C-alpha cells in the first residue's frame, strides 16, 4: 500500500514538473458550477476571467470547465487542471469547499482560491463579497416604492449568506416604511429559470409589488415584466436588459479586480493564503444604475446610503436590532461583528415565518 | 426506393454490432460538430476517448473511471432486470438519494465511535433505504395498478426535498458554522468507504458493481427467476401460462433495482462524495437508464457501457478545459450516443430492402 502511494505521489510530482516546464505563462484555472451563459453568478465569474486575460494578455493562459457538479466531479476537474500545469485555480461555488482542500493537499505548489467557503490552508485562500451591503440599498428602494407594502423575496437556500441578505433588506425597508411585510419563498436552487419564475408568480399573486431574488436567472425579471407594476433588482449581474422597469437597480458581483490582484501575486511570488470579504468600498460589490422608474428623491437617498457604506461611515447592521424572537442582538450604535454575520442563522425582529430546517 | 422489412427473427449480429456502430457514428458526427465549433475534430475525439485511458495522466484518470463508472453499472444492472420484464423503474435517482441518506444517517448517528461494525451497518441501511423507496411504486402498482413510471419518477423529487431538508437540518454538520451539508465521512475512519488499495479507485462500490454483474448474469442465464423475467418481457401471456406470478415479479424487480441504487448512493456518500449535501445527486440514476440500454440490458454489456459513459464524462471535462469546448457540446455528444444507438437498433428487428415500385 505504501509503495502505491509513493508511486502515485511521484507520478503526480513528475506530472506537475513537466507541466510547469512546458510553459512560462501563468496558467489560471476556473471551475464553474453553472453555465457561463447563466446571466448571473457564473457569468460574472467568467467576466472576471476575461478581464484577467485582457489585463495580462499573453502572460496568462486561462482555462475553465463549466457545469461542474459539486463533489467528486469537481475534485477530478481541479486535479486535472493541476496536472495540466495550472498555477492558480479559482473554485467558484460553496460546495467545492472540501474537494478544494483535498486537491490542495495533493498539489502543495498550486494555489487555490475558494469562493464563499470557510476552510483555508497554506495554499488555499477564501474570498467572498459583502452582498448584504447591496441588499441594504435594495431594501431602501423597495421599502420606499412599494404600494402594497408587500415585498416578495426569492431565497435560494436557507444558508447564512442568504439570510444575511434578507435581514439587511428588511431592516432598511422597514426604516423607510414601518408597514412593510416580507414574503419569502425558498426555491432550493441557485439557478432554475422555471422554478424561479414560479416563485415570482406566486409572490406577485400574493400581492407583492417588489420582488427581490437571491437566485441567478432572469426569469423573475421576466415574470415581473409580464405582471406589470412590479419592480425587481438584478442579481449577481446587472440584468440591464430588463431596465428601466421592472429592473430598477442591481447588485453586481465584480470579481475582476480580485482575480487580477491574486494572479499578479502569483506572478510576483507574493501570494499568501488570506480570507477576503470585500464590499462596495473596494468595488467587489457594484450597484447597477438606478433607473428613472425610481423617484429622484429615493434615488438620491439610495446613492447617499451607498456612499456612506462604501466609505465605512455606516454599517448595514447597526443597532438597535433585535432578533426575531424579540431578544436583543445589537445595542444602540453597536455594529455586527464578522463572525456573527458569517454564520447568521436567525431572522431579525419583524420578519414573519421560520427559517426552514 | 429503400424500404424496411421486418426480420422474422431479431438479428443477433446487429444486436451486437449496434453499440459499436453507434459509437462510431457518434465519433463521426460529434467530430463534425466540434469542427463546426472551430475545434480540431481529431484532437477532440482523441482527448475524449484516448487521454483518460492512455494519455500522460492516465494513472490518475483510470481510477477515476472506476469511481465514475461504478454507480452507473450498479444502478443499471438493477434497472435492466425490470426493463427486461417490462417493469419501468425511472426513479433510481430517488432511490440512490434515499440509500445515501439512510446509510449516511446510520454513520452519522454512530459518530465519533470507531468500530468495524459501523460501515457494514451503513451498507445495510443504504440498501434498505433504496429498497424501501422502490417499494412505494411497487406496492402501489400491485395493489392499485398505478403506473410505476410516473410514481417512481415523482418520488425522485420527493427524495430531493428530503435531501435538502437533511442537509439543512437533521444531518447538518454542527461544526459547519450554519452552512448546509453533513460532516465529511471521509474524515470518519469507521464510515469512510476508502480505496481498498490507495489511489486505485477500487472502493467497495466498485466491488459491489462487479459482484452485481456476476449475480445478474447467473440469474438471467441459469436461474428460474431469470427465465421468468425474460419470458414476461418477451411474451407476457405465455409467461402467465407458464406459471409466472406477475405480482412477485414486480416486487422483485423494483425491489432489486431500488436496493442496488440505494447501495450505489451509500457507497458514493461514504466515499468519493463524503458528505450529504443539497446537490449530492448528480444524475447517476437517470444516466444509468442510458447505460442499461446502451449495454443491451445484458450484464456484460452494461459493464462495458458504464465504462464508456464514464469515459465520455471524464474525457468531456478534459476537452472542456484543454480545448475550450463548451459543456453543452459535450452533452450533445453524449446525447448523440443514445440517439444513434436507438436509430441503429432498428436494424436489429428490420432489414433494408431495395423496394419495388408499387404498380397502381
3-state SS string for chain A: CHHHHHHHHHHHHHHHHHHHHCCCCEEEEEECCCCCCCCCHHHHHHHHHHHHHHHHHHHEEEEEECCCCCCHHHHHHHHHHHHCCCCEEEECCHHHHHHHHHHHHHCCCCEEEEECCCCCECCEEEEEECHHHHHHHHHHHHHHHCCCCEEEEEECCCCHHHHHHHHHHHHHHHHHCCCCEEEEEECCCCCCHHHHHHHHHHHHHCCCCEEEECCCCCHHHHHHHHHCCCEEEECCCCCHHHCCCCEEEEEEECCHHHHHHHHHHHHHCCCCCCEEEECCCCCCEEEECCCCCCCHHHHHHHHHHHHHHHHCCCCCCECCEEECCCCEEECCCCECCHHHHHCCCCCECCCCCCCCC
Is residue B173 in some structural domain?
Answer: yes
Is residue B111 in some structural domain?
Answer: yes
What letter would DSSP give residue B174? T
Distances (CA, A) of A210 to A128, A169, A238, A298, B164: 27, 12, 17, 15, 27
A8 contacts in B (CB within 8 Å)?
59, 198-199
Asked if pLDDT for residue A24 goes beyond 50, the answer is yes
A71 contacts in B (CB within 8 Å)?
272-275, 277, 279-280, 282
Q: A-B interface: how many C-beta pairs under 8 angstroms?
A: 118
What letter would DSSP give residue B8? S
Number of domains in chain B: 1
CB contact (8 A) between residue B178 and residue A29: no
In order, the DSSP letters of B278-340 are TT---SHHHHHHHHHHHTTT-HHHHHHHHHHHHHHHHHHHHHHHHH---HHHHHHHHHHHHHH
A354 contacts in B (CB within 8 Å)?
none
Distance (Å) from the alpha carbon of B185 to chain A's nearest alpha carbon: 11
User: What's the average model confidence in pLDDT over B189-214?
Assistant: 91
Whether chain B has a CB inside 8 Å of the CB on A4: the answer is yes
Asked if pLDDT for residue B359 goes beyond 80, the answer is no
pLDDT digits (tens, 9 = 90+) for B39-97: 999 999 999 999 999 988 999 999 999 999 999 999 999 999 999 999 999 999 999 99
CB contact (8 A) between residue A80 and residue B321: yes
Question: How does the average pLDDT of chain B come out, rounded?
Answer: 91
Q: Which of B64, B282, B320 sits opposite A69 (nearest CB)?
A: B282
Distances (CA, A) of B357 to A51, B3, B6, B64, B360: 65, 10, 18, 55, 9
Of B116, B96, B90, residue with least CA distance to B267: B96
Q: Find out whether B41 and B49 touch, Cβ atoms under 8 Å.
A: no
Q: Which of residues 26-55 of A touch B (CB under 8 A)?
A: 29, 35-36
Is residue B163 in some structural domain?
Answer: yes
Q: Find out whether A329 and A323 touch, Cβ atoms under 8 Å.
A: yes
Measured distance CA(B204)–CA(B82) in Å, rounded: 24
Asked if pLDDT for residue A357 goes beyond 80, the answer is no
Q: Which helix (H) or strand (E) holds B117?
A: none
Give domain limits for chain A: 24-129+255-278, 131-253+284-313
Q: What is the per-residue pLDDT for A212?
A: 97
Q: What is the per-residue pLDDT for B10?
A: 79
Residue A230 dihedral angles phi and psi, to the nearest 5°: -125, 140
Whether chain B has a CB inside 8 Å of the CB on A277: the answer is no
Measured distance CA(B168)–CA(B172) in Å, rounded: 6
Q: Which of B60, B168, B282 sits opposite A71 (nearest CB)?
A: B282
Alpha carbon A215 to its chain's center: 10
Distances (CA, A) of A39 to A218, A231, B223: 7, 19, 55
Asked if pLDDT for residue B296 goes beyond 80, the answer is yes
Measured distance CA(B300)–CA(B309) in Å, rounded: 14
Whether A131-253+284-313 and A24-129+255-278 are alike in CATH topology: the answer is yes
pLDDT digits (tens, 9 = 90+) for A224-254: 999 999 999 999 889 999 989 899 999 999 9
Asked if pLDDT for residue B202 goes beyond 70, the answer is yes
Asked if pLDDT for residue A145 goes beyond 90, the answer is yes
Give the domain range for residue B137. 71-301
B287 contacts in A (CB within 8 Å)?
none
Report CA Rg, chain A.
Answer: 22
Distance (Å) from the alpha carbon of B186 to chain A's nearest alpha carbon: 10
Report CA Rg, chain B.
Answer: 22
User: What's the average model confidence in pLDDT over A171-195?
Assistant: 93
User: What's the average model confidence in pLDDT over B312-326?
Assistant: 92
Q: Which residue's C-alpha cell is 474570498? A: A127
Measured distance CA(B217)–CA(B149) in Å, rounded: 25
The C-alpha cell that represents B191 in the structure block: 464510515
User: What's the average model confidence in pLDDT over A278-304?
Assistant: 94
Q: Which residues contact A98 (CB under 8 A, 6 or more apart)?
A: A119, B184, B186, B274, B275
Q: DSSP E strands: which ranges in chain B?
A: 2-6, 350-354
- Find the farthest-apart pair of alpha carbons in chain B and give their distance in angstroms, rounded: 84
Exposure on the CB side of residue A245, measured as CA atoms within 13 A = 13
The C-alpha cell that represents A281 in the structure block: 468600498
Q: What is the CATH number of domain A24-129+255-278?
A: 3.40.50.2300
Q: Find out whether B344 and B22 touch, Cβ atoms under 8 Å.
A: yes
Q: What is the per-residue pLDDT for B355?
A: 66
User: What's the average model confidence in pLDDT over A198-227?
Assistant: 94
The C-alpha cell that represents A194 in the structure block: 422555471
Does CATH number 3.30.465.10 belong to domain A131-253+284-313? Answer: no
Is residue B333 in some structural domain?
Answer: no
User: What's the average model confidence in pLDDT over A37-44?
Assistant: 87
Indicate the pLDDT class of residue A20, thresholds 50, 70 and 90: very low
Asked if pLDDT for residue A283 goes beyond 80, the answer is yes
Asked if pLDDT for residue A82 goes beyond 70, the answer is yes
Q: Which of B67, B177, B327 sits opposite A343 (nearest CB)?
A: B177
CB contact (8 A) between residue A72 and residue B273: yes
Whether chain B has a CB inside 8 Å of the CB on A23: the answer is no
Q: Which of A5, A158, A345 sits opposite B198 (nearest CB)?
A: A5
- The interface predicted TM-score of the complex, written ipTM, equals 0.86
CB contact (8 A) between residue A11 and residue B321: no
What letter would DSSP give residue B172? -
CB contact (8 A) between residue A69 and residue B186: no
CB contact (8 A) between residue A65 and residue B317: yes
pLDDT digits (tens, 9 = 90+) for B109-163: 998 889 999 999 999 999 999 999 999 999 999 999 999 999 999 999 999 999 9
Q: Which helix (H) or strand (E) holds B183?
A: none
Q: Which of B180, B200, B280 sits opposite A71 (nearest CB)?
A: B280
**Tally of CB atoms within 10 A around B273:** 28
Question: How does the average pLDDT of chain A come out, rounded?
Answer: 90
- Looking at chain B, how many residues does it have? 360
Q: Which of A67, A68, A71 sits opposite B273 (nearest CB)?
A: A71
Distance (Å) from the alpha carbon of A289 to chain B's nearest alpha carbon: 32
Measured distance CA(B67)–CA(B270) in Å, rounded: 12
- Looking at chain A, how many residues does it have? 357
CB contact (8 A) between residue A357 and residue B168: yes
Q: Find out whether A333 and A351 touch, Cβ atoms under 8 Å.
A: no
Q: Which residue's C-alpha cell is 440584468? A: A239
User: What's the average model confidence in pLDDT over A338-345?
Assistant: 88
CB contact (8 A) between residue A80 and residue B318: yes
Is residue B353 in some structural domain?
Answer: no
Whether chain B has a CB inside 8 Å of the CB on A353: the answer is no
Indicate the pLDDT class of residue B346, thresholds 50, 70 and 90: confident
Chain A residue whose CA is closest to B316 = A65
Distance (Å) from the alpha carbon of B131 to chain A's nearest alpha carbon: 24
CB contact (8 A) between residue A83 and residue B60: yes
- Structure-derived torsion over alpha carbons of residues B338, B339, B340, B345, reported in degrees to the nearest 10: 80
A65 contacts in B (CB within 8 Å)?
317, 320-321, 327
B323 contacts in A (CB within 8 Å)?
none
Q: Which residues contact B227 (CB under 8 A, 6 or more apart)?
A: none
Q: Which helix (H) or strand (E) holds B355?
A: none
Measured distance CA(B91)–CA(B74) in Å, rounded: 14
pTM of the model: 0.87
- Find the farthest-apart pair of alpha carbons in chain A and give their distance in angstroms, rounded: 72
Distances (CA, A) of B135 to A155, A260, B83, B353: 34, 54, 16, 47
Q: What is the per-residue pLDDT for A39?
A: 79
Q: DSSP E strands: which ranges in B74-210?
A: none
Q: Tell how strand A150-155 and strand A111-115 pair up.
A: unpaired
Indicate the pLDDT class of residue A159, thresholds 50, 70 and 90: confident
Amino acid at each position: 500500500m505504501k509503495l502505491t502511494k509513493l508511486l502515485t505521489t511521484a507520478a503526480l510530482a513528475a506530472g506537475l514538473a513537466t507541466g510547469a516546464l512546458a510553459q512560462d505563462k501563468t496558467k489560471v484555472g476556473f471551475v464553474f458550477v453553472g453555465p457561463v451563459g447563466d446571466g448571473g453568478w457564473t457569468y460574472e465569474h467568467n467576466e472576471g476571467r476575461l478581464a484577467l486575460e485582457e489585463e495580462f494578455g499573453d502572460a496568462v493562459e486561462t482555462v475553465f470547465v463549466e457545469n461542474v457538479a459539486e463533489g467528486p466531479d469537481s475534485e477530478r476537474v481541479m486535479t486535472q487542471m493541476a496536472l495540466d500545469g495550472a498555477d492558480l485555480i479559482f473554485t467558484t461555488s460553496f460546495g467545492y469547499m472540501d474537494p478544494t482542500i483535498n486537491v490542495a493537499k495533493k498539489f502543495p505548489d498550486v494555489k487555490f482560491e475558494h469562493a464563499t467557503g470557510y476552510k483555508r490552508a497554506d495554499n488555499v485562500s477564501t474570498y467572498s463579497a459583502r452582498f448584504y451591503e447591496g441588499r441594504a440599498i435594495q431594501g431602501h428602494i423597495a421599502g420606499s416604492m412599494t404600494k402594497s407594502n408587500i415585498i416578495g423575496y426569492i431565497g435560494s437556500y436557507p444558508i447564512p449568506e442568504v439570510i444575511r441578505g434578507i435581514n439587511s433588506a428588511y431592516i432598511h425597508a422597514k426604516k423607510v416604511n414601518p408597514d412593510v411585510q416580507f414574503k419569502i419563498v425558498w426555491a432550493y436552487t441557485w439557478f432554475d429559470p422555471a422554478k424561479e419564475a414560479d416563485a415570482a408568480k406566486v409572490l406577485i399573486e400574493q400581492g407583492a409589488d417588489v420582488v427581490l431574488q437571491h437566485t441567478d436567472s432572469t426569469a423573475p425579471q421576466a415574470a415581473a415584466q409580464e405582471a406589470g407594476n412590479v419592480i425587481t433588482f438584478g442579481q449577481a449581474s446587472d440584468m440591464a436588459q430588463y431596465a428601466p422597469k421592472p429592473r430598477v437597480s442591481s447588485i453586481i458581483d465584480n470579481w475582476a479586480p480580485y482575480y487580477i490582484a491574486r494572479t499578479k501575486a502569483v506572478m510576483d511570488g507574493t501570494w499568501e493564503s488570506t480570507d477576503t470579504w470585500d464590499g462596495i468600498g473596494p468595488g467587489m460589490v457594484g450597484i447597477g444604475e438606478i433607473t428613472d422608474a425610481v423617484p429622484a428623491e429615493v434615488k438620491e437617498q439610495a446613492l447617499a446610503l451607498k456612499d456612506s457604506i462604501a466609505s465605512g461611515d455606516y454599517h448595514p447592521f447597526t443597532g438597535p436590532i433585535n432578533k426575531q424572537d424579540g431578544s436583543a442582538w445589537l445595542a444602540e450604535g453597536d455594529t455586527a461583528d464578522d463572525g456573527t454575520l458569517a454564520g447568521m442563522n436567525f431572522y431579525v425582529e419583524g420578519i414573519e415565518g421560520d427559517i426552514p430546517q | 426506393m429503400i424500404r424496411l422489412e421486418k426480420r422474422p427473427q431479431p438479428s443477433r449480429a446487429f444486436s451486437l454490432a449496434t453499440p459499436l456502430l453507434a459509437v462510431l457514428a457518434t465519433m463521426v458526427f460529434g467530430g463534425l460538430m466540434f469542427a463546426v465549433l472551430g475545434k480540431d475534430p481529431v484532437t477532440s475525439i482523441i482527448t475524449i476517448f484516448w487521454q483518460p485511458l492512455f494519455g500522460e495522466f492516465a494513472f490518475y484518470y483510470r481510477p477515476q473511471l472506476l469511481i465514475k463508472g461504478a454507480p452507473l453499472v450498479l444502478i443499471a444492472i438493477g434497472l435492466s432486470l425490470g426493463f427486461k420484464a417490462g417493469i419501468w423503474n425511472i426513479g433510481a435517482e430517488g432511490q440512490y438519494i434515499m440509500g445515501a441518506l439512510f446509510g449516511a444517517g446510520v454513520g452519522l448517528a454512530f459518530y465519533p465511535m470507531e468500530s468495524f461494525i459501523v460501515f457494514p451497518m451503513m451498507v445495510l441501511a443504504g440498501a434498505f433505504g433504496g429498497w424501501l423507496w422502490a417499494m412505494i411504486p411497487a406496492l402501489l402498482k400491485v395493489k392499485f395498478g398505478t403506473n410505476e413510471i410516473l410514481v417512481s419518477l415523482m418520488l425522485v423529487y420527493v427524495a430531493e426535498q428530503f435531501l435538502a431538508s437533511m442537509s439543512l437540518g437533521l444531518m447538518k454538520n454542527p461544526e459547519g458554522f450554519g452552512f448546509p451539508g453533513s460532516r465529511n465521512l471521509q474524515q470518519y475512519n469507521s464510515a469512510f468507504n476508502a480505496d481498498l488499495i490507495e489511489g486505485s479507485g477500487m472502493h467497495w462500490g466498485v466491488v459491489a458493481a462487479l459482484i452485481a454483474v456476476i449475480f445478474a448474469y447467473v440469474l438471467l442465464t441459469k436461474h428460474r427467476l431469470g427465465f421468468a423475467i425474460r419470458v414476461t418481457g418477451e411474451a407476457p401471456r405465455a409467461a402467465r401460462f407458464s406459471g409466472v406470478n406477475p405480482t412477485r415479479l414486480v416486487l422483485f424487480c423494483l425491489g432489486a433495482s431500488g436496493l442496488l441504487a440505494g447501495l450505489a448512493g451509500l457507497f458514493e456518500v461514504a466515499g468519493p462524495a463524503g458528505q450529504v449535501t443539497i446537490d449530492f445527486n448528480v444524475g447517476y440514476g437517470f444516466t444509468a437508464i442510458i447505460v442499461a440500454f446502451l449495454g443491451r440490458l445484458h450484464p456484460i454489456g452494461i459493464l462495458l457501457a458504464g465504462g464508456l459513459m464514464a469515459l465520455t464524462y471524464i474525457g468531456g471535462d478534459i476537452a472542456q478545459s484543454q480545448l475550450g469546448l463548451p459543456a453543452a457540446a459535450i452533452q450533445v455528444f453524449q446525447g448523440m450516443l443514445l440517439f444513434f444507438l436507438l436509430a441503429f437498433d432498428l436494424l436489429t428487428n428490420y432489414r433494408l430492402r431495395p423496394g419495388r415500385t408499387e404498380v397502381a
